[in-house]
Structure 1
Amino acid sequence: MSAVLDAVRAGRAGETELLLRSLPDAERRSLLPELKRLRTEVRDLPWERRNGAERMYPALQVAGAMCHSGAAAAATWIAGADMRWRQAPTETLLRALAGRDTGWQADVARRLAGRPVSADVPFALMAGLVQRSGCEVPVTDAYVVGWVRHVGHGWGRVPLVDRLRAEPDLVPLVNGLFELSDLGEVRWLFGDGPGSWQSALAELTRTGELDRAAVVDACVARLLRGGGPTDHRVFLPLLVQLALTREEERDRVADWTALARDAVSPVAAHAQAVLAALALDGRLAAGQLAEASEGVLFRSEKKLVRAQLVLLGKVLAGAPDAAPQLLPAVAQAFGHEDTQVQERALKLVERHAKRLDDPAARSGIAEAADRLSPALRTRATGALGLAPAAAPEAYAEVLPPAPEPFRPEPAPDSAVELAEEIGALLASDGDVASFERALDGLARHAYRDRDALRAALEPVAAARWWKRPDTREGWRADEYFGNTRYGLLGPRDGLELLLATLFDAVGTDTLFAARQRGPAGHGCVHSGLSHAFDARLRELAYRIRTDPQPLLLATPSWSTGLVEPGDLVDRLARYGRLGARVGAADFAQALLRVRREDRAAALAAAEGAAALGSPEGGRLARWLSAGAAVPPSAQRRTSGARILVETGEVPELQEDFPEAFRRLGRPVTTGDERRYCGHWNQEGHPHWLAILPERRELVAVRLVHDLSLAAVDDQRGMAAVLPTLAESGGAAGESTRLCVAYGLGARHPEDRLAAVDALLVLAARGQLDAERLGADLGQLVRRGAVKPLRLAESARTAAATGANTTIWEMLRHALPVLLADLPAAGAGTPGAARGLGELLSVAAECAERCGARGAIPHLARAAARRGSSRLAVQARRLRDALDTEAAA
Structure 2
Amino acid sequence: MVPRSAWIARLARPLIAAGLAELPTGPAFAKSWAELHAMAASEMKWALWRQERHNGTPEPLPTGSLVEELRADPVLPEALSAALAGPGVIGILERHAVPSWELGPAVAELVADGHLDRSRILADAFVALTRQDTPSTRKGIAKLLAALDLKGPDLAERMPLVQGLLATSHGSVTAVLLPAAVETAHADDLPDLAATIFARPEKAQKTVLLKALTGPHAVDRWGSDAVTIALKVAADVPDQAFADRATKALTALGVAQEADAEAPLSDLWAAPLPVNDTGPAAKIEPDEPGLAAALSRIIRSTTAADGAVFWDAIVRWSARSPQEVRYWAWSANQSLGDGVRPPSALWAVVTAADVTAKTHKTLCDKIANGVHAPTDWEIASLSLTGAVHEIFASETTLRLGTIPYLLSTPTQWNGLLSFDTLVDRLKGYGRTSAGPTDLFLALLRLEPTPPERTTQLDGLSLDLWSPGSTWRTAKHTEDAVDLLRQWIEGGGLPKLVTRHDGATVTVEPVRLPIDISLIPGIPAGLLAGHTSGTHREYHEWAIRAETGFGIVPAWPDLLAAKTQTQYDQAARHPPRWLPMMAHAPGPGLAVQHDIAATLCHADEDRRLLAVDAALALMGRGRWDSTAYTECCLHLLNDGVLRLGRLGHSWEQLILAGGLQPLWPTAMTVLGKASVLERKPAALAELCGVLRRYVSAVPDPQIPESVLELAASKGSSKARVEAAAFVAAAAQGEGRS
Alignment CA distance shift 1:218-1:869 (3 Å): farther
Query: CA–CA distance in 1 between the matches of 2:547 and 2:414?
Result: 9
* Deviation of 1:571 (Å): 0.8
Q: Deviations over 1:370-427 (max 9, x none)?
A: xxxxxx416xxxxxxxxxx89865743353542453323444242x346636865996
CA contact (8 A) 1:711 1:743 kept: yes
Give the structure 2 partner of residue 564 of structure 1: 418
CA 1:852–1:499: 2 relative to 1, 3 Å:
farther
2:628 to 753, 770, 773: 773
Equivalent residue, structure 2, for 1:837: 684
Q: 1:464 and 1:683, CA in 2 relative to 1: closer, same or farther beyond 3 A?
A: same
Asked if 1:608 is matched to 2:608, the reply is: no
Q: 1:611 to 1:838 in 2, by over 3 A?
A: farther
Query: Residues 191 and 729 (structure 1 numbering): CA distance in 2 closer, same or farther, change over 3 Å?
Result: closer
Q: 1:178 to 1:812 in 2, by over 3 A?
A: same
| Cα distance change of structure 1 residues 728 and 324 upon mapping to structure 2, 3 Å threshold | closer
Aligned to 2:306: 434
- Counterparts in 2 of 1:342 and 1:588: CA distance versus 1, 3 Å: same
Aligned to 1:162: none
Aligned to 2:39: none
How far 1:764 sits from its partner (Å)?
0.8
Unpaired runs of at least 5, structure 1? 1-50, 52-79, 98-107, 122-146, 155-172, 205-209, 243-248, 277-287, 356-364, 370-375, 379-388, 466-489, 824-828
Q: 1:402 aligns with which of 275, 284, 287?
A: 275
The equivalent residue for 2:385 is 529
In structure 2, distance between residues paired with 1:809 and 1:742: 18
Does the Cα contact within 8 Å between 1:446 and 1:453 map onto a contact in 2? yes
Alpha-carbon distance in 2 for matches of 1:560, 1:401: 17
Which whole-Å CA distance do the structure 2 matches of 1:662 and 1:177 have between them?
51
Q: Does residue 582 of structure 2 align to residue 726 of structure 1?
A: yes
The one-letter amino acid of 1:406's match is G
Please report how far the alpha carbon of residue 552 of structure 1 lies from its aligned counterpart in structure 2 after TM superposition.
0.9
Question: Identity of paired residues, percent?
Answer: 17
Secondary structure of 1:377 counterpart: coil
1:574 positional shift = 0.8
| Cα shift at 1:873 | 3.3
The one of 617, 623, 626 aligned to 1:762: 617
Deviation at 1:559, TM superposition (A): 0.9
Going from structure 1 to structure 2, the CA distance change for 1:800 and 1:309 (only over 3 Å counts) comes to same
Other-structure match for 1:809 = 664
Structure 1 residues 575-625: Cα deviation after superposition (integer angstroms, max 9, x where no partner)? 1xx31112222222212222226x5xx85x533222546654455456445
Partner of 1:784: 639
Question: Given the superposition, is the C-alpha separation of residues 454 and 335 from structure 1 closer, same or farther in structure 2, using an over 3 Å criterion?
Answer: same
Structure (1 or 2) with the greater helix fraction:
1
Check 1:322–1:572 CA distance in 2 against 1; reply closer, same or farther (3 A cut): closer
Aligned to 1:691, what secondary structure does the other structure show? Answer: coil
Change (3 A) 1:519 1:430: farther
Matched, 1:658 2:540: no
Tell me the residue number matched to 2:169. Answer: none
Paired with 1:680 and 1:864, the residues of 2 have a C-alpha distance of 47
1:589 maps to which of 406, 427, 441:
441
The 8 Å contact of residues 224 and 255 in structure 1, kept in 2 or not, is answered as: no
Q: CA deviation at 1:807?
A: 3.1
TM-fit CA distance, 1:331: 3.1
Indicate conservation of the 8 Å contact 1:804/1:847, yes or no: no
1:42 maps to: none
Larger RCO (CA under 8 A, 6+ residues apart): 2
CA contact (8 A) 1:519 1:531 kept: no
Residue 715 (str. 1) matches residue 640 (str. 2): no
Distance 1:626 1:808 in 2: 40
Of residues 326, 332, 335, the one that matches 1:454 is 326
Letter in 2 for 1:860: L
Aligned to 2:10, the other structure's residue is in SS state coil
Aligned match of 1:85: 10
Partner of 2:193: 295
From the superposition, tell whether residues 404 and 151 of structure 1 become closer, same or farther in structure 2 (CA, over 3 Å). Answer: closer
Show the counterpart of 1:330. 231
Cα distance between partner residues in 1 of 2:121 and 2:328: 59
String of CA shifts for 1:541-564, please: whole Å, max 9, x gaps.
23338xx22211111111111111
Cα distance between partner residues in 1 of 2:358 and 2:67: 62
TM-superposed CA distance for 1:727, in Å, is 1.0
Q: 1:874 to 1:268 in 2, by over 3 A?
A: farther
List runs of 5+ in structure 2 lacking aligned partners: 35-65, 94-99, 130-137, 167-172, 373-379, 463-478
Distance in structure 1 (CA, Å) of the matches to 2:506 and 2:270: 32
Please tell me whether the aligned partners of residues 650 and 666 of structure 1 are also in contact (alpha carbons under 8 angstroms). Answer: yes
Are 2:354 and 1:505 aligned?
A: yes
1:683 aligns to what? 543
One-letter identity of the residue aligned with 1:636: H
Aligned position for 2:651? 796
Q: Does 1:191 align with 2:97?
A: no
In 1, distance between residues paired with 2:329 and 2:273? 42
**Deviations along 1:281-304, whole A, 9 cap, x unmatched?**
xxxxxxx54753552353135445
Displacement of 1:661 after TM fit?
A: 5.3
Question: 2: CA distance between counterparts of 1:190 and 1:665?
Answer: 50
Q: Select which of 649, 660, 676 maps to 2:510.
A: 649
Q: Work out the CA distance in 1 between the residues paired with 2:80 and 2:25.
A: 15
CA distance in 1, matches of 2:524, 2:671: 40
> After the TM superposition, which residues 491-502 of structure 1 pair with which residues of structure 2 at under 5 Å, given as runs?
492=343, 495-501=346-352
Confirm or deny that 1:872 pairs with 2:719: yes
Tell me the SS of whatever aligns to 1:645. Answer: strand
Q: How does 1:354-393 map to 2 (within 5 A)?
A: 376-377=259-260, 393=266
Name the CA distance, whole Å, in 1 between partners of 2:24 and 2:346. Answer: 45
2:674 and 2:709 in contact (8 A); partners too? yes
* Match among 591, 604, 608 for residue 753 of structure 1: 608
- The answer to whether the 8 Å contact 2:84/2:128 transfers is no
Q: 1:713 to 1:887 in 2, by over 3 A?
A: same
- Does the alignment pair 1:549 with 2:403? yes
Change in Cα spacing, 1:259 to 1:660, as seen in structure 2 (3 Å) is: closer
Deviation at 1:803, TM superposition (A): 1.9
Q: Give the match's secondary structure for 2:410.
A: coil
- In structure 2, the residue corresponding to 1:703 is in which secondary structure? helix
Q: Is the 8 A contact 1:774 1:812 kept in 2?
A: no
Q: Which structure is larger by alpha-carbon Rg, 1 or 2? A: 1
Selected match of 1:520 from 348, 369, 372: 369
* Counterpart residue type for residue 670 of structure 1: T
Which amino acid counterpart does residue 758 of structure 1 have in structure 2? A
- State the Cα distance separating 1:854 from its structure 2 match: 1.7
* Structure 1 SS opposite 2:506: strand
CA deviations over 1:345-388 (Å, ceiling 9, x no partner): 44555565579xxxxxxxxx9xxx6xxxxxx416xxxxxxxxxx
Change (3 A) 1:348 1:528: same
User: Are 2:394 and 1:538 equivalent residues in the alignment?
Assistant: yes
Deviation at 1:763, TM superposition (A): 0.8
Name the CA shift for 1:401/1:350 in 2 (closer, same or farther; >3 Å). Answer: farther
SS in 1 for 2:358: helix
Task: Count matched residues.
Answer: 642
Q: Aligned pair in 2 of structure 1 residues 220, 737: CA closer, same or farther (>3 Å)?
A: closer
SS at match of 2:400: helix
CA–CA distance in structure 2, aligned partners of residues 230 and 758 of structure 1: 31
Tell me which amino acid in the other structure corresponds to 1:739.
Answer: D
1:420 aligns to 2:288 (yes or no): no
